[in-house]
Every structure is written in C-alpha cells, then in structure tokens.
Amino acid sequence: MEKESRNILVVSVNWLGDAVMLTPGLKAVKERFPASRLSVMCVTRLEEFFSGNPYVDEVLVFDEKTHHAGIKAKIEYSRNLRARNFDIVFCVQRSLTRLLLCALAGIPERVGYSRRKTALLLTHRVSDPGDRIHRQDRYCLLFEHYGIPVREKMNFVSVPEFARSESNALLSGVLGRADHLVGVQPSANWDAKRWPPQRFAAVCDKLIREKNCAVVCIGTEGDRSVVEQMSALMEEPLYNLLGKTTLLSLCAVLEHCDLFLSNDSGPAHVSAGLGIPTVVLFGPTDARVTGPRGSRVKVLQKPVSCTIPCYRAECARNMCMEKIEVDEVYRCAVAQLGGIQEYSRTE
C-alpha cells in the first residue's frame, strides 16, 4: 500500500449490468492512487463500455470463447500481461482461468474471493459473502479489503461527445415531437425474465395517448422477435432503434429519455447510472441482490407462492412476471414522469 504510483489491473465481470455496478470501485481505486495506471480486463462486449470510463486508462480484452479459446492464445495473453508489469490485480470475476493467467504473468499481488479452486493462487483472500449482500457491495468489498475506501457507492455512466452526436442523429425524427421521451427494453437474456410483450404494448400505447409520450425501443438483434411482437400489438407508433446503437450510443440515447421502462437487464443499470427515472420489472431474480441502484429507480417485483429467486431461465407458468399488471406499471411510470419536475427543482 505504500507505493502511490501503481500499475493496477481489474479483472471485470462479464455482463453490462455488473460492469455498471463495478464503476464505484474503479473510481475509488483512482481516488486512492491518483498517479496509478488502471487497466481493465473484460470480454469483447464490454470493451466499449470501459473505454468510455474516465478512470480507466487501458482496456484489455480477454474472450475465452473466441480469440483466446486455445492454450497457445492463453499463453500469449499471459506473456502480454507480464510485459505490462502490473503490481496488483483485483479479480472481481470469479474465474480460475483469468486468475491463473495473472499468476503466470507474475503479478505479485492478487486480490480475490477465496474459493477452494483459487485460494492458492491468491495473495489476498477475501471471504465471499455471495448473495447475502447486494452485488455492488460485494464488488466494493474486494477493494475495501485491500484498504481502498469506496466512499461513493452510486453507479455512474460516462458518455463521450461522439456518442452523443450519434444518438442525436438516431433520434432526429423523435426529439421535440412529444412532451416526454420514453425508452423501453421489452426483452431480457432469459425468457423467464420477460414481461409479456402485449403488456409492454398496452403500457406504451397508454403513455403515448394519455401523456403525449414518444416511445423508443432499444435492444440488440437478438431481441428482434420480442420487439416485433410488441410492435405488432401496438396501436400507436413505436420508434425502433433495435440493433442501431453501439454500447456508448445506447447510453447517449438513454440520456435523452425522461423515463426508461425495462425488464431486469443491463440497460436498466445504465439508465439508473445516468440518473434517468427508471422502472424495472423483476421476476425470477432477486432485486435485493442485482437490482439497479439509484435515487430515481423503482423496482416492481411481486410475491408469489413459488420460491423467489429461482433463477430459472424458462418457466411454463412464469407467475412472478404474470402477476405484474398493466395498470400498476402504467401508474408507476406516470409517477416517475411526474417526479421529473420535482426532482429538477430539488437538484
């Protein structure tokens, strides 16, 4: 800890929402060691997100499913790590492979959660609280154990100007044509986390008709079938940005929104991190552990007779999502929209 100028590596988690929850820890590292060089190891899909973070000096992509699938590629990657002369690595992602690469690279200090498979590779072992605490607090714990205080545990998302220019072009036909701009994400990476598309359609139609909203739908090509179902069921026009955004231009699009309505998804964490009024619908996962954090976030999760969380990717009944009613979501959305002016007066 006595060396103030340090070469630091953080092995990131793999999903967008988790990456957002890691941002307070990255900021804390730079505040504790202002002269340090901070690098982040991440999968390909998160490279752009971390490249836009002002506290990150370098992004190192490690993608075991593609570029680094073979033994030779992993050995070469470890050699590249060694050449960078890192002083310490924080292994936030619980990965034996990534930790082994860091050990082989000769990184002298290796901080991570103690597990039977990885304990001998760590120089600083942290007891893993698992799901007893919020995922963001779990990530912060790793840095705090090393003596790095995380004073501000609010997530944040940085948006560069070039991404704002891209979003302005994408939204040129939408901005200024309604009282409010509402972003929606009707899909999710599991079927069981998806609120029925006909209910999303009903809420969006009502927001357009009764609150003079314009609704823009975001997502990737993998979300197309869900979005097309929703769009076909709507009576009012939907602005579809499906597959048209990069990760950073998506963040910039969300900056324009007065409200974001979403299933449990990575963009919901981005919206919360940007301070956008956000309504998130939770089902088989635990909002107390992985829910977006922020002063303008409202999570809807209904009690059901089965066990929640169950983390089931598929469910024939899907009662936890089915119990969330259209009127309830609409009222919550309107309340969030109504809080915009109140929030601006107290900021």
Q: Mean pLDDT, to the nearest integer, of 33-62?
A: 96
> Is residue 343 over pLDDT 50?
no
All structural domains of the chain: 7-145 (3.40.50.2000), 163-346 (3.40.50.2000)
d(CA 292, CA 18): 10
**The pLDDT of residue 206:** 98
Per-residue confidence band for 33, with pLDDT thresholds at 50, 70 and 90 = very high
At residue 307, does pLDDT exceed 90? no
In this prediction, what percent of the chain has a pLDDT beyond 90? Answer: 81
Supply the pLDDT for residue 68: 86
Distance CA 14, CA 64 (A): 11
Q: What are phi and psi of 91, to 5 degrees?
A: -90, 85
| pLDDT averaged over every residue in the chain | 92
Would you state the pLDDT for residue 340? 52
Residue-level pLDDT at 339 = 64
When pLDDT is averaged across residues 203-221 and rounded to a whole number, the result is 96
Instruction: Give the mean pLDDT of 16-34.
Output: 96
pLDDT above 90 for 3: no
Residues β-bridged to residue 183:
216, 260
The answer to whether 213 and 179 have CB atoms below 8 angstroms apart is yes
What integer pLDDT is reported at residue 106 of this predicted model?
97
Predicted confidence band of residue 80 (pLDDT cuts 50, 70, 90): very high
* pLDDT at residue 277 in the model: 97
244 pLDDT above the threshold of 80: yes
pLDDT mean over 60-66: 89
C-alpha to C-alpha distance for 157 and 112, rounded to whole angstroms:
25
Q: Mean of the pLDDT values across residues 84-89?
A: 97
